[in-house]
Amino acid sequence: MAQIFIGFIEQASEIYNVLEQRVLAVRSGGIYIFSMRSTSQLIFLFCLFGALILAVSVHAEDAEVHVYFEDYPPYEYLEDGEAKGVNIEFMREAFRRMGVSVMFTPMPWKRGIYELQNGGIMALASGFKTPEREVFAFFPSEWLAMEDLVIVAPVVSGVEVNSLEDLRGLRLGVVREYAYGKKFDSMSNLNKIEAASNPQLMKMLMSHRMDVAIMNKMVARAVAKKMDILAHIKFIYAVHSEPLYLFFSRARGFEAARLSREFSEAMATMRKDGTYQDIESRY
């Protein structure tokens, strides 16, 4: 950061020297005025100087990046006031390698999507990459972890699901604003019942307000274990696997694009040197 600031100061000094050399004047009626050529040059140089000052402030602001996440154990969750989870560890190490301090803050998923769209937040973890989301978010080329989606039902349920088509006619639980993959998301005429979060979804399933629910397998296990109902749920159909990403707000412009690119590079080196595999093995 100090080197960046010194570099901008040096450039500003050069601009000042140019200004001294370029302030040309013509005599008109005993009054000195700037020539049109000099005036346009001055305007350009002042704009450039302002851009340099803005760049310094932007870099200073990004010395710490705030990443928002939904409670999504074992990927991202809050325990005793501390952010934990396999994706949290991936992100913390990647930002460390980028030389960027990171702060993790919980936020409901629906609000997180809204804030990301409008530039209220810089980064959100973690979700699927979809064409709809790519409109308002930069996705790194490197993903975080893989997600296994399954259909969950109460153990006492006699419902059978052998394909996505078997979901038609069932009361199907989903979390609001979630993406579940291109094939599922494009299906029409499904009787979807929305929940605000995975814990609420599990409670609604066990109270028979829906027949089945679509969930991340590891998340379903973690939520059910916390609710002490793990023995009362079953996985009746494996939907598919898809990677989860950290994504950055396009409304934040070039800085978000830069962070996305550098995050990809850091994750790639983690996979190459074995750090990624070491973290993953602990979960």
What is the spatial distance between Cα 254 and Cα 119, in angstroms, rounded to a whole number? Answer: 12
Q: How far is CA 67 from the centre of its chain?
A: 7
Q: Calculate what percentage of the chain has a pLDDT beyond 70.
A: 78
What is the spatial distance between Cα 131 and Cα 194, in angstroms, rounded to a whole number? Answer: 22
**Residue 63's pLDDT is what?**
67
β-bridge pairing 77-79 and 101-106: unpaired
Confidence of residue 283 (pLDDT cuts 50, 70, 90): confident
Q: Which amino acid does the sequence have at 33?
A: I
**Residue 76 carries which DSSP code?**
B
**Residue 64's pLDDT is what?**
87
Query: What value does the mean pLDDT take over residues 274-283?
Result: 93
146-242 and 64-141+244-281 share a CATH fold:
yes
Looking at CATH, the fold of the domain delimited by 64-141+244-281 is given as D-Maltodextrin-Binding Protein; domain 2 (3.40.190)
Strand, helix or coil at 73?
coil
Q: Please, what is the average pLDDT of the chain?
A: 84
Taking alpha carbons only, the member of 137, 140, 139, 182 closest to residue 164 is 182
Domain boundaries, the chain: 2-61, 64-141+244-281, 146-242
Whether the predicted pLDDT of 12 surpasses 80? no
What is the spatial distance between Cα 143 and Cα 242, in angstroms, rounded to a whole number? Answer: 10
Structurally, at CATH architecture level, domain 146-242 sits in 3-Layer(aba) Sandwich (3.40)
Whether the predicted pLDDT of 111 surpasses 90? yes
Q: Which residue has the higher pLDDT, 280 or 21?
A: 280
Query: What value does the mean pLDDT take over residues 114-120?
Result: 97
Whether the predicted pLDDT of 240 surpasses 50? yes
Query: What value does the mean pLDDT take over residues 170-192?
Result: 94
**Residue 87's pLDDT is what?**
97
Q: Which helix (H) or strand (E) holds 149?
A: strand 146-154
Lowest mean pLDDT, pick from 3-7, 38-42, 198-202: 3-7
pTM for this predicted structure: 0.69
- The number of beta carbons lying within 10 Å of the beta carbon of residue 194 is 15
